[in-house]
Each structure stands twice: as structure tokens, then as C-alpha cells.
Amino acid sequence: MAFLEIRDVHKRFGPAHILRGISLDVELHQVVCLIGASGSGKSTLLRCINALEVIDGGVINLDGDRCSGQGIDVDALRQEIGIVFQSFNLFPHMTVLDNITLAPRKVLRLPAAEAEDRAMQLLTRIGLAEKAKDYPDRLSGGQQQRVAIVRALAMEPRLMLLDEITSALDPELVAEVLNIVRDLARDGMTMMLATHEMHFAKEVSSKVCFLHEGVILEEGPPEQIFGDPTEERTQAFLKRIIDAGRL
């Protein structure tokens, strides 16, 4: 039994059938990359996993417990799963420190001092301790995204979902964010990431899934997907990426 099991998941938005039977296993400490054209359903899949979207069919199990459909405690589920978005989504009216400590204080009910200690440790680790009292708009995009990652980590999730977290960044800021993800992977964090950074996907992932129009068309180890894709569509997609100079 895999740590995260996704079985035949369907998602519709009105008449649009966006996820059309996704099945996928993620083992503990694995890093799974989702690649695929824009609109293929990567974000939707990630959002379904932590119940930001309600699925219309199939099941999702986390560590053996069903975490989709009716009657699940979404708030409890989301404490186990961290997600980081393309657009950072920091809370603009709170300092960096408050952004990070909000959920530990209000959800985990940690005392403020303890939550702040933990936040400062995390901030120190990513080199942003001196920004703790700043508001997000004073930070660069790369710094904001690093804070967003730390905000999710502060809940000590068992699974991290990263949705194109570098796509909104200037190229020179991408590395600082990816370095954190690399460290997380090295520390054994279980992660699923949607990304267009193919180099990075190749480097960190245990498994790469190519999504096409709401189905996983091909999945396998990165060497195989990037080196010897069997599906024509995967080949075409990777060729476009290579032509764009991104692999």
C-alpha cells in the first residue's frame, strides 16, 4: 500500500471533464513530478489531493486513510498536506513571521513563543531571519516564495504539494527557491510537484508523470521519461520544451 494512493480520480468543472481517471501511487520519501502542457490538469490534481477541490469520482488515500469525498475532516487532512502555489499567496496584511506562525498558533494551538521559535529556525535555515518583521510586499518574488514554503513547512506536513512554484519568478530568482526544494528532497520529504523546470525534475524526482488532457499518459523514472519516452505525445511535449531551450 502506497503512502498516497490516487485511484481513478475524476474532476469536472461544469461540463468540462478536467481529470479523466487519474491513478497514481506516491511512496513515502518519493518526489513525484507532474509535467505536461498548461491546462492538462496538474494544478487541479494537486488541489484535489488536499481537498481544495471536491472530486467527482475515485478515491484518494493518504497513509491508508481515505481523504476524499463526503464526511472527511478537511481541516485535519490539510494539516498533513502542505501546498505551495505559483502566486505565493502570502497574507499581505501580516508580517513574514505572522504568516508563518498563524496556522501553528490557531490550528495546532502552539503557544506564540514556541511557534515563533520554530518559525525563526525555519527562516534562519533559508537565510531570511532578518526579514521576519517585514511585510511580504517588501520581499522579492523569490523571497516571498521561500517564505510560502516555510509557512507550509511550519505545519510539519507529511506531504508537500508544489504547484509550479517558480513559474511566476524572474529567472535569476528560480535557483534560490529550487535549492530549498532540493534540500527538502534530500531530507526525505514526500513531495509532488508540478513543474516546467525539466532539469530540476530530472535531478530530484523518483518518478515523472506526463499529464495530457486529464490523464497520466506516461509515467516512469526520470531517465526513461526524459531519455526514452514511449508515447508520441510525451515526445512532442519534450521536443517543444527542448526547442524552447528549457531542457
Ligand X SMILES: Nc1ncnc2c1ncn2[C@@H]1O[C@H](COP(=O)(O)OP(=O)(O)O)[C@@H](O)[C@H]1O
Spatial neighbors of 201 by CB under 8 A, at least 6 apart, are 33, 35, 193, 195, 208, 222, 226
Under the rule (CB under 6 A), what is the footprint of ligand X?
A: 13, 16, 18, 36, 38-44, 194
The correct pick among 43, 101, 144, 145 for binding Mg ion (CB under 5 A) is 43
Question: How many other CB atoms sit within 10 Å of the CB of residue 91?
Answer: 13
* CB of residue 118 to other proteins, shortest distance in Å: 14
Per-residue mark of binding to other proteins, 104-143 (x: CB under 8 A): --xx---------------------------xxx------
Nearest distance in Å: CB 212, ligand X: 10
Q: Which of Mg ion, other proteins, ligand X, none sits in contact with 234, Cβ below 5 to 8 A by type?
A: none
Nearer to other proteins among residue 13 and residue 91 (C-beta): 91
Is 205 near Mg ion (CB under 5 A)? no
Q: 145 in helix, strand or coil?
A: helix
Q: Does 166 bind Mg ion (CB under 5 A)?
A: no
Q: How many angstroms separate the Cα of 60 from the Cα of each of 9, 194, 200?
A: 8, 18, 27
Rounded Cα distance between 6 and 3, Å, is 10
Distance CA 90, CA 87 (A): 9
